[in-house]
Structure 1
């Protein structure tokens, strides 16, 4: 027996000598029976001379010429009046939504641009300031007869003294005064300003009065009246706490 502490040892290889060189260079008998396949490069067929001359006669080879563009639908040609009517129709679609009063002008303006492109309206798009001005006039509810009057021209001139976000409220109050309509309630003024806060609506009237644009007073029953000294017109008495019809419509929906 051998000791367990001894380590294993490698045994020498057998003494058989193999002809390694012969194994490498001797061909396999199967190679003589395989079919010979030549990997020849496919030579393209020669092009006709007429095609070559026709291509050389052109300024740009046919292979480099851009593909013909698909025919586009021509933009309709509209008169100034027709384009204006379509612009107003697009704005009316946007403002007919009761929720539009509580959306920012930037959101409404993006909606307007998308609708105008879908209608393929020619000409440059309205600027944001022009859109705000048109929106304020449209929200005032002025009709064509009043819009063409000299008094309304004075109203538009007076509205330039207030900021863009207040013009909608100012024009609405002026339209009510020129038409002898009841004074809009706090809720109606708040919706024209894009808010639900009646306190903010009362502050707007106070701001207009501080600027010397209006005079706010009440009749003997406590109903509010807003007068425009420069227009020599005032609203009919109206309840400041009356609900807004637009908000009632939204709640019903």
Structure 2
């Protein structure tokens, strides 16, 4: 089933119009380029796209003029003032990527050099997020010629390098990380070609310069004579082409929007029809030499927001004060605490609703259970990851006093926690000389439905030298663990999922 939005209406000569549809799922894989001179309706088009898809996908907007902060009132976007340190912007970007909340990076209070640097740091942080947080997101960059310039300008080379590198990563490599770049520009000729060329969808609005019309025509597959039509496009009209739009260049008229930019196009205001003599004399009255030259009133700058470090320090101080005021009960023995935590994680893993839940959701459930059962100390994510790996691998079913299993657990501690689940699953089978678990089982315990991804995770363990995989007669797979000297029995990688040697029930599979 496609996830589509309506941009407006098609404009067809001699025929009825129809809704102009955009496929959001296809857009996530193919990216979008929007061009239009000032006044062509480019920002209106971007706003329409964002409003129509706000409830369907996460949106991250790099806004140099503060035009899109009004989305916060209607759709709940988080507005991030860019007047922060690089470390703060990186941290906020990672939190946004993890939480999947839509956000607007407001750059309007910065000079061009600062805008380029802040946008580059923010986009790079989105790009560098952990694999578990690679959720689909539209990344909209307005006025892309500022952040991916073709040539040097009135900005530092360092800011240009950071910004251009981030834009290149977004458009060239962002798709695998779930980031779909949408860049909008007034001057296509001023956008770096390696950035603009990665878009497969195009919405070209009114433009007058020959060089911009030529590049737009090349992208749409039009001959030089046909590019003259870009001069005749009305406000809010664009030529659409691409796998998420139309297979042939099609003119669309953008529909209405619900929100408005904070700054609007100035309206004509007639001057006074009559000026009295007294007013004229007042204007030309002599100015005392000691008078201070009046300065145009400017909007008061907003106070700089507190840094992340300051906020965390205040929170830590409040918690310390609360702990001093709260009477402490008897300390819980470490063995009892460990047993409670293992039981909590085992209950979480046993819940079929959590079979394919991401780690953040599971950790939130773990934190709640720890508070509910009054487990002393704050929930620790690293401790949770280790317990989760054990529970998913079925370690609770093993004899804790078995020296061989203790040896396997000791080796597992040397392996990154994200790879520990598969290692323990394979070690458990090898210790008992059971058949190698099939791909379906590996996929289930790692929280995915993809057998191909399960095979890739096993191959990754092999490349790291933790296991050795051998395919034998009838394509049966055997996995050896060199450091332990163990080996599984041959197993069919395409066999059905098994749970402790038995195929799961239909209810469990669901």
Give the TM interval when normalised to the shorter protein: 0.5 to 0.7
Structure having the higher Rg? 1
2:483 counterpart of 1:230: yes
Residue by residue, what CA displacement relative to the aligned partner does 1:177-202 show, whole Å, maximum 9, x if unpaired? 11222211111111122111111111
Partner of residue 452, structure 2: 199
- How far off its partner does 1:245 sit? 4.3
Give the alignment of 1:58-77 within 5 angstroms.
none
Instruction: Choose the corresponding residue for 2:339, options 74, 85, 93.
Output: 85
Q: 2:479 aligns to what SS in structure 1?
A: strand
Q: Count matched residues.
A: 181
What is the rounded CA distance, in whole Å, between the counterparts of 1:226 and 1:150 in structure 2?
21
Equivalent residue in structure 1 for 2:435, among 168, 179, 182: 182
1:75 touches 1:120 (CA, 8 Å); kept in 2?
no
Aligned partners of 2:370 and 2:379 also within 8 Å: no
- How far is 1:75 from its partner? 5.1
SS at match of 1:115: helix
* Counterparts of residues 34-53 of structure 1 (less than 5 Å): none
**Taking CA–CA contacts closer than 8 Å with sequence separation of 6 or more, which of the two structures ends up with the larger relative contact order?**
1
Relative to 1, partners in 2 of residues 1:79 and 1:162: Cα closer, same or farther, differing over 3 Å? closer
Counterparts in 2 of 1:157 and 1:84: CA distance versus 1, 3 Å: closer
CA pair 148-125 structure 1, distance change in 2 beyond 3 A: farther
Greater shift, 151-160 or 175-184, is seen at 151-160
User: Structure 1-normalised TM-score?
Assistant: 0.62
CA drift at 1:78: 3.6
Q: CA deviation at 1:133?
A: 0.4
Q: How does 1:119-198 map to 2 (within 5 A)?
A: 119-121=373-375, 123-143=376-396, 146-198=399-451
C-alpha contact 1:165 1:193 (8 A) present in aligned 2: no
- SS of aligned partner of 1:81: helix
Kindly tell me: are residues 192 and 98 of structure 1, through their superposed partners in 2, closer, same or farther at Cα, counting changes over 3 Å?
same
Which residue number in structure 2 is paired with residue 241 of structure 1? 494
Q: Residues 184 and 240 of structure 1 are in contact (CA less than 8 Å); yes or no, is this contact kept in structure 2?
A: yes
User: CA 1:77–1:213 in structure 2 vs 1: closer, same or farther (change >3 Å)?
Assistant: closer
SS at match of 2:475: coil
Moved over 6 A (4+): none
Question: Matched residues in 2 for 1:97 and 1:163: separation?
Answer: 25
Unaligned runs of 5+ in 1: 1-71
User: Contact 1:190 / 1:197 at 8 angstroms: preserved in 2?
Assistant: yes
In 2, the alpha carbon distance for the partners of 1:169 and 1:214 equals 10
Match in the other structure for 1:118:
372
| Greater Cα offset, 203-212 or 180-189 | 203-212
* 1-structure distance, mates of 2:327, 2:350: 30
Q: By how many angstroms is 1:99 displaced? A: 3.2
Runs of at least 5 residues in structure 2 that lack an aligned partner in the other structure: 1-325
Q: Does 1:97 align with 2:351?
A: yes
Higher strand share: 2
Give 2:32's aligned residue.
none
Whether contact under 8 Å (2:398, 2:405) holds in the other structure is no
Change (3 A) 1:249 1:162: farther
Structure 1 position 214, deviation (Å): 1.3
Aligned partner of 2:187 in structure 1 is: none
Q: Deviations over 1:115-158 (max 9, x none)?
A: 1211222x213310110001101221125764444433443344
- Structure 2 partner of 1:60: none
Q: Is the 8 A contact 1:94 1:100 kept in 2?
A: yes
Name 1:28's counterpart in structure 2: none
**TM-score computed with the length of structure 2 as normaliser:** 0.32
Q: 1:182 to 1:207 in 2, by over 3 A?
A: same
The answer for the alignment partner of 2:144 in structure 1 is none
